[in-house]
Structure 1
């Protein structure tokens, strides 16, 4: 799983582009394409000779409005923190969806992920305000340039994520935990769905079940699965078929555990409303992550 997390973080690093300091004002004033001032035809990065001359004419060193070096350094530090936090936040969301699956949190929101999410949203909001202050000099730029309009969309998506997170943490999370506590005594084995399996996470006296190749194994009595965790990497209550295929031991060690049932794709019973809302918001946030990355790509490479 550590390798999977590293790959996800590397993917986000490669996808998230750096935002250049140039604005569309230059293009409007000159009527030239980005390649006239930048070595990269898409804009941003190192300037050509003409670009350097134009920049010097627009911002001569003696001009009072020139940004001091200290301010540039501060803006760079804030931008770096903003990007780093985005990688951490988005990487966590991708990791949960692609590796752990949302059912991982269906038995109650893990404190670690909640802390990362809340801290990331706070840092992203504060650093975003600072960067917007330096990047958007007027309301006209915000409302009448492609950068400004995309920024408004990005802010709107961020606010949707914050709102959904607030609902999940304050309303859905407690309901999930309460539902797990109420149903834990009813778990006796047999065929289960992924949501039902997530109850059997080996914590607080609950049984530790895991799935391998469609079969549900009981690891409650195993010394290798204390508190529902194996080697501090794998958690009970989940389908670990893909993860355990990469384990250093053979399948026979897992098959020594008693089988209690099979994993069901679904059960005819109606899924509780709070659980449906949880899954809806989880996949909505995953979609928003890809939309925000798309906005960053449009800033960098355009259409």
Structure 2
């Protein structure tokens, strides 16, 4: 199925004749601003009469056929899918950082966000290759124009995100899900520190405890907290005060769970190396999102 999809994409790409892409190189040749050929002063999009005449001379000189209606429709559909996927992917990253905070995934990567990320990376890669094929007529354009240089920077940032995500999924993720029984004893009742509470994550027979506004609750017997996970989004073993404030229900439902103690200050330990790497990559990807948006702004308005 995957091979058939790839072959179909290649056939569609080969079946769509390409035209020479207008860039700032053409503006240098004529000595005019982008507004001389484009209705949009920033360049790109619909051409003015002078722009159409110049494009006709370029097409005659290059002896390349015009883009067919089917090819334009295909390019539009691919570009639309590319943008929608970018919104979903970047929106998920922003939601995790600004609303849920990366700490909520520090005990294991949520399946929902993980699925969105993997699908988004694949779709962004395929659609990006197709759109680059339409826009870039020759490899020289990548190094001889501002558009090409920015495109290379965008591709490099995308590859960094893909490589870091692959590393987190294959190496960091399994270690986040695996709690190491260190020197802290496993207790199930009474006041606990955050380090002691982290051991009660509901996995491998351990109790499922979590804190809310300083009180520790035992959700081990609740059918809504199987394996220490609530609705696939909240994980036992931590302070869920902020996370549960975003839940569709109010805190009154916690009254059905037994309160077993209070969350108290304990000895602050440095986070394990894999957790520090996870937080570093999480915030690095957030910075990359803003850099890619900056590149899009430079393309459009600079």
Provide TM-score, normalisation by structure 1: 0.75
Indicate the residue corresponding to 2:88 in structure 1: 88
| CA deviation profile, 1:33-76 (whole Å, cap 9, x unmatched) | 2222333322233443433443344347x954322222222222
Q: Which structure is richer in relative contact order (CA contacts within 8 A, separation 6 or more)? A: 1
Aligned residues: 277
Partner of 2:261: 260
Q: What is the root-mean-square deviation in Å for CA atoms of aligned residues?
A: 3.4
Cα distance in structure 2, aligned partners of 1:108 and 1:292: 27
- Residues 244/162 of structure 1: CA separation in 2 closer, same or farther (3 Å cut): closer
**1:132-156: CA deviations, max 9, x gaps?**
2221222221012111111111111
- Give me the whole-angstrom Cα distance separating, in 1, the residues matched to 2:107 and 2:248: 29
Q: Secondary structure at the match of 2:261?
A: strand
The residue that corresponds to 1:101 in the other structure is 101
Question: Which runs of 5 or more residues in structure 2 are unaligned?
Answer: 1-20
| 2:64 maps to 1:50 | no
Contact 1:209 1:236 (C-alpha < 8 Å) held by counterparts = no
Instruction: Label 1:37 to 1:236 Cα distance change in 2 as closer, same or farther (>3 A).
Output: same
Q: Do 1:81 and 1:127's aligned partners in 2 also have CA atoms closer than 8 Å?
A: yes
Q: Report the equivalent of 2:186.
A: 186
- Which residue of 2 is the match for residue 31 of structure 1? 31
In 1: Cα distance, 2:295 partner to 2:83 partner: 14
Distance in 2 between residues matched to 1:23 and 1:263, nearest whole Å:
62
Structure 1 residue 98, shift from structure 2 partner: 1.9
Structure 1 position 270 matched with structure 2 position 276: no
Where do 5+ consecutive residues of structure 1 fail to align? 1-20
Deviations 1:7-38 (A, max 9, x none): xxxxxxxxxxxxxx742233222222222233
Cα 1:239–1:186 change in 2 (3 A) is closer
**Aligned mates of 1:110, 1:243 — CA distance in 2:** 14
**Paired residues of 1:154 and 1:295 also in contact (CA < 8 A):** yes
User: Of the two, which has the highest radius of gyration?
Assistant: 2
